[in-house]
């Protein structure tokens, strides 16, 4: 399986951001984290691609997922 | 045939997760059903009164309890419970996704943030409207936000907002705040917090995102439009137990009435934490009650008598 590019937009005290990151670590999926509380440009980018302001937003290749939608993430990553 | 659980726990805050931990250690096959993880406590940036932790964030505390509960086999599914009914000797629990059967149930789903019931509030949820200042305030750097409410959580949200946003309107329907006086003083002396008292939010307006709010003066009924990018609602919590009113006894504010072993008026159903009529809505109390509810459920499942007080009789 080719490695998919995983990106997650987060803030510090967001429970589902942490749950999602834990999920990636447990499943040995490398990911890039962008803290939108610290990076305004990234925040604008997240709002543009997701059309909303809630975190986390997870991008797997070109698919945008709003929230920690585990079934959808598993499907996109080909995890059981 | 569907799998039958020994115990279904509704809610994944300190009460529900502690119940799962104890149930797991007693060997009960348990499933936690919850709309979210942590509930109210997940929104707290620092907790300084949970024994054993001098200082911990709500999220970290919840993660620790969840990991501990999972170690003993607890399953967790993010589903919303819509109804619970008795079918023969089992409870049927219907969610927005599936139907489960369980021999016993623990209700530990806490309280739900109260909404403004303003026009546009639902439409702009996640598009400027938020019920969690600690989660979402960082998204409003150099922007203008409104915080609605008059209690400690509202004032703390306003102060947190003032450290991030350009300007904070603190909107409260009365002339005086309920929050602690030191917090009120701090808010009053913060330059970029503007108080909007005796006022309620009538409407939230915008296009793709929030652009402004319409605020009504409760005395003069005069409407004012304020340009804001975000609206943080901090007006307290409701107990959403309507769907259970034919199953368990509730008090006048909708809280589930429990006895000192966490049994409800319905045999086989137990309850714990903020959703119950137990005084002091604290994480450590909720965790303690979750433990009691799980042990009571275990005893009841095993037919061990003498723990639960009988309902209707003074104990």
pTM: 0.78
Q: Is residue A22 part of a domain?
A: yes
- Cross-chain residue pair B135–A37, CB shorter than 8 Å: no
Q: Is residue A14 part of a domain?
A: yes
Is there a contact between B284 and B8 (Cβ–Cβ < 8 Å)?
no
Instruction: State which residues form the domain around A58.
Output: 6-66
What is residue A16's predicted lDDT score, i.e. its pLDDT? Answer: 84
Task: Quote the Cα angle for B118-B120-B123, to 5°.
Answer: 130
What is residue B314's predicted lDDT score, i.e. its pLDDT? Answer: 46
Instruction: Show which residues of B are catalytic.
Output: 132, 135-136
Q: Is residue A10 part of a domain?
A: yes
- Cross-chain residue pair A13–B139, CB shorter than 8 Å: no
What is residue A19's predicted lDDT score, i.e. its pLDDT? Answer: 84
Under-50 pLDDT residues of chain B: 307-308, 313-315
Residue A13 predicted with pLDDT over 90? no
What is residue B310's predicted lDDT score, i.e. its pLDDT? Answer: 52
Where do you find CATH 3.50.50.60 in chain B?
4-111+239-302, 129-233
Q: Is residue A44 part of a domain?
A: yes
Question: In angstroms, how far is the first alpha carbon of chain A from the final one?
Answer: 14
Q: Is residue A75 part of a domain?
A: no
- Cross-chain residue pair B134–A18, CB shorter than 8 Å: no
Task: Please tell us whether the domain made up of B129-233 is placed in CATH 3.50.50.60.
Answer: yes
What is residue B315's predicted lDDT score, i.e. its pLDDT? Answer: 41
* A–B interface: beta-carbon pairs under 8 A: 57
Q: How many domains does chain A have?
A: 1
What is residue B295's predicted lDDT score, i.e. its pLDDT? Answer: 97
The interface predicted TM-score of the complex, written ipTM, equals 0.78
Q: Is residue A79 part of a domain?
A: no
C-alpha dist (Å) from residue B45 to B56, B81, B104, B179: 8, 28, 34, 18
CATH of the domain at A48: 3.40.30.10
What is residue B153's predicted lDDT score, i.e. its pLDDT? Answer: 86
For the domain B4-111+239-302, what is the CATH superfamily, name and number?
FAD/NAD(P)-binding domain (3.50.50.60)
What is residue B118's predicted lDDT score, i.e. its pLDDT? Answer: 96
- Chain A interface residues (partner B, CB cutoff 8 A): 11-16, 18-19, 22, 36-38, 40, 43, 47, 51-55, 70
DSSP string, B52-80: TBSSB-HHHHHHHHHHHHHHTT-EEE---
Q: Is residue A13 part of a domain?
A: yes
**Strand, helix or coil for residue B125:** strand
Kindly identify which residue of chain B lies nearest to residue A38, measuring between CA atoms.
B138
Q: What are B256's strand-pairing partners?
A: B250, B276
- Cross-chain residue pair B59–A15, CB shorter than 8 Å: yes
Return d(Cα B24, Cα B7) in angstroms, integer.
10
């Amino acid at each position: 399986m080719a490695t998919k590019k995983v990106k997650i937009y987060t803030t510090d005290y967001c429970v589902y951001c942490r749950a999602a990151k834990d999920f990636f670590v447990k499943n040995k999926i490398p990911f890039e984290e962008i803290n939108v509380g610290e990076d305004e440009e990234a925040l604008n980018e997240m709002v543009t691609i997701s059309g909303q302001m809630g975190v986390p937003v997870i991008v797997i290749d070109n698919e945008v997922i709003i929230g920690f939608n585990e079934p959808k993430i598993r499907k996109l990553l080909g995890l059981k | 045939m569907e799998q039958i659980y020994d115990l279904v726990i509704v809610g994944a805050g300190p009460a529900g997760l502690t119940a799962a931990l104890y149930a797991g250690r007693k060997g009960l096959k348990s499933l936690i059903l919850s709309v979210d993880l942590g509930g109210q406590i997940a929104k707290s940036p620092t907790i300084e009164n949970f024994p054993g932790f001098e200082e911990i964030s709500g999220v970290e505390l919840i993660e620790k309890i969840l990991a501990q509960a999972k170690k003993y086999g607890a399953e967790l599914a993010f589903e919303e419970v819509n109804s619970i009914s008795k079918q023969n000797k089992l409870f049927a629990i219907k969610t927005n996704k599936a139907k489960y059967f369980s021999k016993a149930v623990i209700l530990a789903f806490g309280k739900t943030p109260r909404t403004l019931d303003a026009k546009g509030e639902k439409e702009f949820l996640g598009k400027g409207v938020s019920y969690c200042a600690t989660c979402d305030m960082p998204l409003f750097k150099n922007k203008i936000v409104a915080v609605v409410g008059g209690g400690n959580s509202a004032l703390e949200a306003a102060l947190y907002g003032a450290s991030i946003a350009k300007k904070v309107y603190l909107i409260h329907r009365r002339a005086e705040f309920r929050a602690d006086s030191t917090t009120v003083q701090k808010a009053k002396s913060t330059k970029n917090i503007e108080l909007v008292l005796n006022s309620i939010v009538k409407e939230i307006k915008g296009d793709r995102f929030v652009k402004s709010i319409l605020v009504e003066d409760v005395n003069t009924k005069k409407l004012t439009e304020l340009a804001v990018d975000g609206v943080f609602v901090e007006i307290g919590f409701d107990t959403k137990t309507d769907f259970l009113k034919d199953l368990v006894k509730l008090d006048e504010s909708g809280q589930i009435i429990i006895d000192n072993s966490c049994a409800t008026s319905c045999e086989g159903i137990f309850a714990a934490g903020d959703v119950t009529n137990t005084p002091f809505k604290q994480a450590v109390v909720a965790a303690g009650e979750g433990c009691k509810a799980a042990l009571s459920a275990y005893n009841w499942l095993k037919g061990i008598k003498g723990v639960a007080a009988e309902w209707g009789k003074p104990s």
